[in-house]
Every structure is written in structure tokens, then in C-alpha cells.
Amino acid sequence: MNLLPQWERARYQLLDSLAARSMGGTNAYVHMISRVEEVLQRERSRTAINRISRALDLDPRDSRQIYRQCLASEAREEADSARLLVSGQPIAEAVEATPPFSPVDGPCIYITLHWGSPMITFLYLRSVLGIPVRLIGRPLDKANPLPPGKMRWGQRKVEWMEALTGETFIPDDGAGALQARTELLEGRSIFASVDVPAQPTSRSRVIDLFGEPIRIASGLLRLAALTKVPLVPILGHSCGQKIHVAHEEPIPAAREQELAESIGIWLRKILARQPDQWWLWPFVHVEKP
């Protein structure tokens, strides 16, 4: 019997009834979601655990532990968002940057990963630090294949984020690319995930993931090359009571391939240090030889 549809519905109901109520509820939600997802999505879990083992040269037991933490990381982003949304707690109280954040002089593309708490990191930049930055995201429209429960939660979250920042998302389509270009040329910045697996119709570049060639969508890299703005890697993740945000030195504008290589170096550095926050272990597109 396929329990996934029922589970998917229940999971997003639990965000309100459990995760949003308190930090204890958040922790309970995270623990439960990661365990159930691991079991229900058996094939996905196997793919991820094997990939982690190969990439980091770990035995399957350690890799499984890391994958559970990855599932917990994704659930925690949802749960933290739900709690902040319901409680109205200021983002400034929930997030800290150490060392203190030093904004880039001029426009840039803040690049993040499906790692830790990307959306709360964006909220920190925009609504706490007041940096003029807009987020590029996939529209939650009919073409988006998200299951209904996740779609409803996504729409609530987007409304909340847009209300907090006073800005709408930029869609990840042709019109959005032109909009993003205008933002950058007029001195504002862009925030987006750079580890998006490439779709067959989108442009992509191959990067090395610990010996395995993987394809990532390269639109952001092209945009940086065309507008000559730097990429600024930035990540946030939950450390107990607070979400910790840190950024790296800007990657200067360069040709697409050079930027892709820089992204590869950054991704490997992050995953060698903290592989247990990356949600995409099971989803990367491996380049066939």
C-alpha cells in the first residue's frame, strides 16, 4: 500500500499543529519527519546513502546518519519558518551572523545551496540588514509539480516572505531573467540557489562532486558573466536556538566555466565540512560518460 499521499498531507498539517507551537514542537517535528521520510522514500534514501558513501569515503552506517541529518535539515527549515510565521517572532531575534555580516559594495548575486536554511538566510539579508536584494524562485503555479500539501505550505510561506520583505519573488523564467538583469544593472542584488539540478531544456554546466561529474543549471552564472557582478556564497543553518548565517569572499565575475569551477570548489569545501545539511544528495543529475 502506498502511504505517501496520506503522509504528505499529514506532514504539512503537522507544521501548524506541532512544529509552529514551540521550539520543542519544532524539534519533535524535525525528528519525526526525518525518520518517516527515510523509511517511506526507500529508493531515494538508498541513492543518497550510496552517493554519500562514495563521495566522502564513509561506511554505509555513517552515511545513513548523515542522510538522516540532511532530511532533518530540510524539515527544520520548514519548521523554523512555520514557527516564525505563526509566532511573529522577529527574524533578527532568530538569526545571528558571525563574523558580523559585511555587505558587498555594489550589486551582486548572493548564491546559496539547498543546505540548511536558505529562505531564512534571505529574510535575514532583506528584512534585517535591509540589503536591496530580491529572490529568484520557481513560481508555485500549475506547471510546478509539487504535491498539494507542499504546494499549499509553499504558497503560505511565499506570502509571508513577501509581506516581510515588501518584495515579490522574481520567477525563474525568461521574463524573470530580464527582471533580474534590470535589478543588477540598477544596483540591487539577487539571491538564488546555485545547486539547482539542470533540467533537460535548461543550460547547464558540469561540476565535480568528489569524482562524480554532476550537472547544475548555469543560468545564474551566465547572468553574472553578462552583468559583470560578483557571486557571493552565503549559507545559513540552525545551531540549536539560533540560525547561524555566514558568507564567503565574493567570487569575481568571470567566464561561465570559471564560475562553475569556483562553485564546484565551494560546494566540495562545504560538503567536506558539513555534509549533513545538504538536501540534494539524492537528487543531483549525474553526467553519464
Q: Does 176 bind other proteins (CB under 8 A)?
A: yes
Buried b (16+ CB within 10 A) or exposed e, 19-43: bbbeeebbbbbbebbbebbbeebee
Q: Which is nearer to other proteins, 223 or 243 (CB)?
A: 223
Collapse the DSSP code of 217 into the 3-class scheme (helix H, G, I; strand E, B; otherwise coil) and give the result: strand
**In degrees, to the nearest 5, what angle opens at C-alpha 85 toward C-alphas 96 and 156?**
125
Q: Does 179 bind other proteins (CB under 8 A)?
A: yes
Residue linked to cell 553526467: 287
Q: Does 201 bind other proteins (CB under 8 A)?
A: yes
Q: Does 111 bind other proteins (CB under 8 A)?
A: no
What are the CA-CA distances from residue 257 to residues 166, 225, 260, 284 (Å)?
Answer: 35, 10, 5, 19
Q: Does 144 bind other proteins (CB under 8 A)?
A: no
Q: Does 137 bind other proteins (CB under 8 A)?
A: no
Collapse the DSSP code of 284 into the 3-class scheme (helix H, G, I; strand E, B; otherwise coil) and give the result: coil
Count of residues making up the chain: 289
Question: Of residues 10, 23, 92, 185, which one binds other proteins by CB under 8 A?
Answer: 185
Residue 197 CA to residue 217 CA, distance in Å, equals 6
Q: Does 143 bind other proteins (CB under 8 A)?
A: no
* 8 Å CB contact between 77 and 119: yes
* 8 Å CB contact between 152 and 13: no
Q: Does 109 bind other proteins (CB under 8 A)?
A: no
Residue linked to cell 545564474: 220
Binders in 153-172 for other proteins, by CB under 8 A: 172
Q: Does 257 bind other proteins (CB under 8 A)?
A: no
CB of 193 to other proteins, least distance (A): 15
Is the Cα dihedral 253, 254, 259, 261 positive or negative? Answer: negative
Q: Does 222 bind other proteins (CB under 8 A)?
A: yes
Q: Does 282 bind other proteins (CB under 8 A)?
A: no
Number of residues lying near other proteins (CB under 8 A): 19
Question: Of residues 116, 118, 219, 264, which one binds other proteins by CB under 8 A?
Answer: 219
Q: Does 116 bind other proteins (CB under 8 A)?
A: no
Q: Which residues bind other proteins (CB under 8 A)?
A: 172-179, 181-182, 185, 201-203, 219, 222-223, 226-227
